[in-house]
Amino acid sequence: MTEFLTHPLPALAQALYQRQISARDLVEEAIANHERCDALTNAYLLWTSSRARKGAAAADAAFAAGAIAGPLQGIPISIKDLFAAEGLPTFAGSDRRLPPEWEVDGPVVAALRRQLGVIMGKTHMVEFAFGGTGQNCHWGAPRNPWDKTAHRSPGGSSSGAGVSLMEGSALLALGSDTAGSVRIPAAMTGTVGLKLTLGRWSAAGVVPLSPTFDTPGLLTRTVEDAAFGFGSIDAMVGDPFHYLSRISTLEIAGVRIGMGDPFLWSDCDPGIAEGAKAAVDALAAKGALVRERALPEARAAYDVFLEGGFSAIELRSFLDQELPQWLPELDPIMAPAVKNAETLTAREYLARLQRVRSLSRTAQERFADVEVFVSPTVCATPALISEVRDTGGHLRVNRRLVHNTVGVNYLGLCAITLPVALDRAGMPVGLQFIAPPGNEERLIAVALAAEHALGTGRQRLGAPPLLAL
């Protein structure tokens, strides 16, 4: 990775505005990074370097004319293959191209286009986002760059998103999160993942898994980049430079943090809970007010997931109505759950929905005297891909991956993960900050204060061994 793409996203945006660098500079560096790493990482289903060069030229022409389309003008961005985008096919991780209506920009992609952000390509994903392991029998799985000797899971379902950031082919990655699909790959690749409150950003133009919980989200290299990316896309925030300058003044001292829920800190592989706790202890040493608090609704929400949750039946409904010919060709590891979802009665589906809505109301009351809860983001060391290529292995691993993430979705909360340590296998450990619904601005401010206190992922973890060539 060369000079430009090692800098923070806000600094690069400023340098572009001031014409100290060009969008072509950034895009050519991103292309070179991808060409160097692609044989190792396999981050993209669709790599569009020619279109990216044209996008960079358009951004530079606008800069030359004194026209500023938005803060992401000229910035290299990857998008998950679940997002419809004009001129680009959508497969949603399946083995065939979806109909033309899935090649029209949705609101989030349109926000990037309006700003002349440069789309580098579409990243790999689990088929129809149904799972957190990253395995895909049609296209293969991207490789987690933190293990140079074995092919480990990069997390999913946004499996190529974090890898695209690590290889330096994108500065911002669009993903989606229904049960952890932004936070799991972010935690497992040593990046930052932001899960928004349901409805904060429209999911129109995003192939649905479970519309009851689907949320677009972001993966970035740092919390500073996430704050800038969020502010650039979110209409309620407005100017991302002003937003970032305002939240950068928050110190971690005095921030009220809830920690210690027995469920969220249990069943962790060696080094994960220890690494996350050491990070929280470091925040406490800098003045954070860490309080022993439980969030029992997280366990209750996970129990609903174990009963079958919502994704299988809602995906089955979408496929039955829109893509019935896809059913016989589903990835064998997910096909049984989707095909058997037809046995779920409307009565049981509605009962589950009522349970999680009730849990959501009581969960919000737990924030009365804390601003955020913290936990390890993922309790399991990334599995070998060979361990998740069959239904049994995938199911066993996937249940552990969503252990600490699915509750955030089912309870209607928002969350962010940032890299804080390496576990005993040398794989990244994410620390998850959880906040009440609609509190993204405060959530990101707290996470940014934590990053200032702890250091960025690159500062704490170093470079991924596979890419440290």
Q: What's 195's domain CATH number?
A: 3.90.1300.10
> With contact defined as beta carbons under 8 Å apart, do 374 and 431 qualify?
yes
The answer to whether residue 238 scores a pLDDT higher than 90 is no
| Residue 467, domain member (yes or no) | no
In the block, residue with structure tokens 């936990």: 375
The reply to whether 80 belongs to the active site is yes
Query: Which is more confidently placed, 343 or 469?
Result: 343
| Residue 363, domain member (yes or no) | yes
The β-bridge partners of 434 are 373, 415
* C-beta atoms surrounding 83 within 10 Å: 27
pLDDT score, position 314: 98
How far CA 393 is from CA of 94, 154, 357, 389, in Å, comes to 20, 16, 31, 7
The answer to whether residue 190 scores a pLDDT higher than 70 is yes
Residue of 22, 181, 232, 311 with catalytic role: 181
In the block, residue with structure tokens 């990046």: 191
| Residue 468, domain member (yes or no) | no
67-86 pLDDT per residue, tens: 999 999 999 999 999 999 99
What average pLDDT does range 331-345 have in this prediction?
A: 93
109: left (phi over 0), alpha (psi -120 to 50) or beta: alpha
What average pLDDT does range 242-250 have in this prediction?
A: 95
| Residue 214, domain member (yes or no) | yes
The answer to whether residue 137 scores a pLDDT higher than 60 is yes
The reply to whether 195 belongs to the active site is no
| Residue 295, domain member (yes or no) | yes
Residue of 80, 122, 195, 277 with catalytic role: 80
Contacts of 273 (CB under 8 A, 6+ apart): 265, 376, 379
Helices 9-17 & 240-247, crossing angle to 10 degrees? 140
Residue of 157, 169, 232, 375 with catalytic role: 157
The number of folded domains in the chain is: 1
| Residue 58, domain member (yes or no) | yes
State the Cα–Cα distance between residues 108 and 176, nearest whole angstrom. 11
Stretch among 157-161, 236-240, 290-294, 411-415 having the lowest mean pLDDT: 236-240
Closest CA relative to residue 142, chosen from 235, 280, 34: 34
Q: What is the CA radius of gyration of the chain?
A: 20
What average pLDDT does range 371-389 have in this prediction?
A: 97
Closest CA relative to residue 163, chosen from 183, 137, 188, 189: 189
> What is the extent of the structural domain holding 147?
4-461
Looking at the whole model, is its pTM more than 0.95? yes
| Residue 13, domain member (yes or no) | yes
pLDDT band at 3 (very low <50, low <70, confident <90, very high): confident
394-449 pLDDT per residue, tens: 999 999 999 999 999 999 999 999 999 999 999 999 999 999 999 999 999 999 99
| Residue 63, domain member (yes or no) | yes
What average pLDDT does range 75-100 have in this prediction?
A: 98
Stretch among 12-26, 116-130, 202-216, 230-244 having the lowest mean pLDDT: 230-244
The reply to whether 49 belongs to the active site is no
Sign of CA dihedral 7, 9, 14, 18: positive
pLDDT score, position 79: 98
pLDDT score, position 1: 42
pLDDT score, position 469: 59
